[in-house]
A and B are shown apart, each in its own frame.
Chain A
Amino acid sequence: MSAQIFLVAPADADIAAFAPILEGALASVPVSALFLPRGARSENAYKDFVKTVAPIAQSEGCAVLIEGEPGWVRTLGADGLHVFGSAKALPATREAAAALKPQMIVGAGPAASRHDAMGLGELDIDYVLFGPLEGALSAEARDMASWWAQTMEVPAVLSDPQADGETADAAGCEFLAVGESVWKAPQGAAIALSEIAQRLETL
């Protein structure tokens, strides 16, 4: 089975400009999950952003993951929480899993080491994230994710912010996280995303 797409929204997306682009992208290919990083937004601005964007994604059958307090997931109408960090994310991830599972999704990462990944994976969460959400994916992070996918039962999300229709490769992981390259693509997000989706199907 080919890897599913885990889309990462820009950390500085402006609601009005982003909504139509997202709509187009989600209409072009099936996307399993959309993660909305908080970035430098204020709490209120972020909450407004989530409230506007979540229904767009959910109408396309895409789960919406947010960043922040576990309590925000239900109040903002999201589907789950992503806890950022590696070893330091353990307590927050445990708390989030206790508060939200099994109805809601909880994921964590990016894992900085295999040891950290195993610590996170044992918290009964839905996925462990590997690789950065911005910039270049290192070979080490790719190897780590691939090993995780082969060995562990908790699904792996491999983030390759620079993936495109030529290079996208989930390395055996259940999900490939993309974003940066999609939003910056000269051919437009919808086309860039469908190129990645096609590439994943051929692997």
Chain B
Amino acid sequence: MPKRLASAIAALILASTAATATLAQTEDARAISEDIFGSKTPPDEAYGAFQRGYYLTALALALPRAEKGDPAAQTLIGEIYARGLGVAENVARASGWYALASKNGDMMGTFELALLYQDGRGVPKSREKAAELFKKAADAGYMPAKYNLAMLYVEGVYVEPNMTKAAELLKEAADSGMPEAQYDYGVLLMEGAGAAPNPKEGAHQIGLAADQGLPAAQVEYATMLYLGKGVEKNLPEAVKWYRKAAMAGNAVAQNRYAKLLAVGEGVDLDLQEAAMWRSLAKRQGLNDPTLDKLLVSIPADELAQAENRARYWPGEPPTTTADAGEPAKAP
């Protein structure tokens, strides 16, 4: 199951600033908003320090507030200890602060604590407890928690299986702009699981996730464009998305991009380029006899060059002319 930690942190920062009714994400934004709205609420200094990377200052500012029961400060301290920012990483300690923040109604703290229980980090592993906390944070309106709760409904072990609920939660999270949720909701709509099948909307959602840079969605979207499933068939577009995902390191995308290059479908035929992507996919454990057949006719020197390029990918191999010891070979 994908961990939503990175976006949770972003959301944490967003929500904390939203709580003070200013979007003070940066010093500039704060200055502007203060100019426009006037400084009615004092900025959260602990978060300000956190965002600028002054973690020990943030900790010192947050501690007295956290001791007095400020849930946002408690989550902030949890974050500092969970990630070892300026202090030794101490997940048990983080869990204590998250638990307190959760008790005081902080949905980010609740969500972070759920992740710790799910993985058994700093607390004894308990998927049941995690499910309970995901529910709590989802009920409070926290989108990443809705997404995780949806996954639990799909899994159907720690909460009762319920595809309809999963679909509803995924839709909410997708509408809020979470790429993972857009992708999963899209897949669900394509398959008609938990919701009426709607390939067009499904493709749209997967496209949104692809736009946000989720490699799995890019591969899926490329395949849909290739097949004309839910969207109009469009080979050059399919190639574009496979290439994007391939560049991001997705092995399936590398394999498929290689195949299209090997037969010149939607893109100019380029055996050397195809062989390079095949090599990169193979390096990740993806072997494909079909692709090997397509590349059986590649000249040996082309293949050697392709594999050399793969070795230095995403950089460029050093040019042979730069090497004074060996005479440059004529092509």
Contacts and interface: CB of A to CB of B under 8 A. Distances in A.
Interface of A: 113-115, 118, 122, 147-148, 150-152
B63 A147 contact: no
B100 interface: yes
By secondary structure, the B interface counts as helix
Given A122-B93, A152-B92, A115 B99 contact: no
Contacts of A115: 63, 66-67
B278 to A, nearest CB: 52
B93 A113 contact: no
Contacts of B103: 147
A118 B67 contact: no
A3 B87 CA distance: 35
Nearest to A117: B96
Contacts of A152: 92, 96
A151 B63 CA distance: 18
27 contacts: A113-B63, A113-B67, A114-B66, A114-B67, A114-B96, A114-B97, A114-B100, A115-B63, A115-B66, A115-B67, A118-B93, A118-B96, A122-B90, A122-B92, A122-B93, A147-B96, A147-B99, A147-B100, A147-B103, A148-B96, A150-B99, A151-B95, A151-B96, A151-B99, A151-B100, A152-B92, A152-B96
By secondary structure, the A interface counts as helix
Contacts of B93: 118, 122
Determine the interface band of chain B, counting residues with CB < 8 A from chain A: 10 to 19
Contacts of B67: 113-115
A112 B3 CA distance: 36
Contacts of B99: 147, 150-151
A113 to B, nearest CB: 5
Contacts of A122: 90, 92-93
A47 B103 CA distance: 45
A161 to B, nearest CB: 22
Given A114-B97, A148-B96, 18 more contacts: A113-B63, A113-B67, A114-B67, A114-B100, A115-B63, A115-B66, A115-B67, A118-B93, A122-B90, A122-B92, A122-B93, A147-B96, A147-B99, A147-B103, A150-B99, A151-B95, A151-B100, A152-B92
